[in-house]
Structure 1
Amino acid sequence: MRFGYPGFDNLRTYEDFVVSYDRTAHWVMEHLTPDRMIYSPSVDRSKCEFREDQSIHAFFRSRNADYMNSGYDRGHLAAAGNHRKTQRAVEQTFLLSNMAPQIGKGFNRDKWNELEKHVRKLARANKNVYVCTGPLYLPRREANGKLCVTFEVIGKNHVAVPTHFFKVALVETADSRWFLESYVLPNRPVDRAAPLKSFYAPLESIERAAGFLIFQNLPRKCLISINGR
């Protein structure tokens, strides 16, 4: 990856993306270009099935049964819509190593989907887009005043349900300038009227919460804007 990986724990490399994994992904990294946004008419998403990632040890692998009757969608981190150049590429996005439990109505099928479409729009309009996506487990203040991190787990494999998700897009324009957009969205139903910009988050706060640096090999002074500023 051009500007470095956030880490090297349990890496899995697929045709169009890279995953760092532990029951759910730590992060997923994608490289999108206008050419990759040209979809092949031979690609058929309806043929894709959610499936276990056999490259991961059975002790640490999430399974479809973990999601059954959980109330959560199997939410893509590397979006299927980003990888329709080949059938193999889109099918790999349906590996459960690329999934995390997401609220369906109001989030995965709505605001998160809107963010994915926005990233594809950036990819069509610019030279390169590097995307880092992952889960967050953020603290909240309890009644006793203490900050605590609490989250649900689902299934026999105790798949963690993130409290939030982040997505960071590093964009190279046609004239080789760079800008960055970074988002944090809560894993709950989100008002459809809320603009995506309302979910901008400082990159540093995402890095601190996630525990790793993102695009650390690109000097920040090279960016013409961060979150529109």
Structure 2
Amino acid sequence: MAKITVAALVIGAGAGAAVTAAFTRRKEEPTSLSLTTTTITTPSTTSAPNPVPISAQGVLAAPVDPSGIFNYGFPGPTADLRPSLALVSSFDRRTRNPHWVAEHITPASLAGRDGNRKHSSFAEDDGIPEKFRAKLSDYFRSGYDRGHQVPAADAKWSQQAMNETFLLSNMCPQVGDGFNRDYWAHFEDFCRRLTHKYPSVRIVTGPLYLPRKEPDGKWRVSYEVVGSPPNVAVPTHFFKVIFAEDGKVGGNVAVGAFVLPNARIANDRSLKEFEVPLEMVEKASGLEFAEKLPLNRRKRLCGDMQCEIMVREYADRQKAFVKK
């Protein structure tokens, strides 16, 4: 019988919050089978059973057609691929959140100033079938922010690009004070500052729903669902996978993977505390990020530069924005 070995990754995230990822590895064990041979004597007058049909090529011809269900449509799962100017994403119809959202920033793109967030509004993504999309009403009085996965500040080079970042297909419910408006915002700023060293930076961001060890010793996945009726899942954690490129053809790429809890995080916490091996994000998310990037071209981002946030108080910036 197969044995399941569970390994857990726990990263501190402040009082009452922990980054926890559980992964499984299957180890096959030999199985003993006891066989009993029974001889059945059939009278010669008994007719032989109908033979199982065999095709001319010697392949078993099945008497059923399970794939005939596709005549009525493919059940799924369906991942809605959403390419646009500012980002490309894959939407998860089950959770009403993206699987992942990818962006590309450069010194030139961040220098653009044709987009202004005061001209952008949060909007439902009508490219997602209505019964599967997140609604503005789902976030109303939910206690969570509409958390950008690709931040609006990364798309100032075009008003259309910035508007696209405000679609709910680029959002997940995020804790506001202490996370979306604080540590997460500083993390996004860290990503932008990477362009001071690297001419091209690609970032993949997305939600995770990770297990937590309960008092009975068992691991369970539990998350809130907001909306009336309940519609949008609240992630337990978020990941960012960063590819900082040196700009040379076939050059080196500094890769960094981070997992943060969807919870308040003190601003004095080091970003390196949330760094994890890329493989752990892949196992937790079911996604693959660098299968075509040879190991000899990879560098560790936090080994190539200092992985620390710069604290810029979000509340103060908001007050200044309102005054303007």
TM-score range, shorter chain: over 0.9
2:178 maps to 1:103: no
Which residue pairs with 1:82 in the alignment? Answer: 154
Q: How many Å apart are 1:43 and its aligned residue?
A: 2.1
CA distance in 1, matches of 2:162, 2:195: 17
Query: Equivalent residue of 1:227, what SS?
Result: helix
CA deviation map 1:139-173 (0-9, x unaligned): 00111111000000000352000000000110112
Q: How many Å apart are 1:125 and its aligned residue?
A: 2.9
Which residue pairs with 1:172 in the alignment? Answer: 245
Which residue pairs with 1:209 in the alignment? Answer: 284
- Of 167, 181, 184, the match for 1:112: 184
CA distance in 1, matches of 2:247, 2:129: 42
CA distance in 2, matches of 1:194, 1:184: 13
Query: Equivalent residue of 2:162, what SS?
Result: helix
Q: How many Å apart are 1:180 and its aligned residue?
A: 0.9
TM-score w.r.t. the length of structure 1 is 0.92
**Residue type at the aligned position of 1:11:** L
Which residue pairs with 1:188 in the alignment? Answer: 263
CA distance in 2, matches of 1:116, 1:165: 13
2:212 maps to 1:154: no
Q: How many Å apart are 1:16 and its aligned residue?
A: 1.8
CA distance in 2, matches of 1:87, 1:157: 33
Query: Equivalent residue of 1:228, what SS?
Result: helix
Q: How many Å apart are 1:124 and its aligned residue?
A: 4.0
Which residue pairs with 1:55 in the alignment? Answer: 127
Runs of 4+ in 1 over 4 A off after TM superposition: none
Which residue pairs with 1:17 in the alignment? Answer: 87
CA distance in 2, matches of 1:89, 1:52: 16
Structure 1 gaps, min length 5: 1-7
Please, which moves more after superposition, 215-224 or 16-25?
215-224
CA distance in 2, matches of 1:158, 1:89: 27
CA deviation map 1:97-144 (0-9, x unaligned): 000000000000011101100111113431211111000000001111
Which residue pairs with 1:223 in the alignment? Answer: 298
Bigger relative contact order (CA 8 A; separation at least 6): 1
Q: Is the 8 A contact 1:25 1:99 kept in 2?
A: yes
CA distance in 1, matches of 2:299, 2:216: 44
Which residue pairs with 1:37 in the alignment? Answer: 110
CA deviation map 1:44-78 (0-9, x unaligned): 21111000001010011101110011100000001
CA distance in 2, matches of 1:115, 1:184: 11
**Residue type at the aligned position of 2:97:** T
Query: Equivalent residue of 1:75, what SS?
Result: strand
- Percent identity reads 43
CA distance in 2, matches of 1:72, 1:32: 27
Q: How many Å apart are 1:200 and its aligned residue?
A: 0.6
Q: Is the 8 A contact 1:182 1:227 kept in 2?
A: no
Please, which moves more after superposition, 49-58 or 150-159?
150-159
Higher Rg: 2
Which residue pairs with 1:72 in the alignment? Answer: 144
Please, which moves more after superposition, 127-136 or 173-182?
173-182
Q: Is the 8 A contact 2:244 2:301 kept in 1?
A: no
Please, which moves more after superposition, 192-201 or 102-111?
192-201
CA distance in 1, matches of 2:281, 2:233: 19
Please, which moves more after superposition, 121-130 or 133-142?
121-130
Which residue pairs with 2:214 in the alignment? Answer: 142
Query: Equivalent residue of 1:117, what SS?
Result: helix
CA distance in 2, matches of 1:124, 1:83: 17
CA distance in 1, matches of 2:234, 2:282: 19
**Residue type at the aligned position of 1:27:** W
Cα RMSD, aligned residues only: 1.4
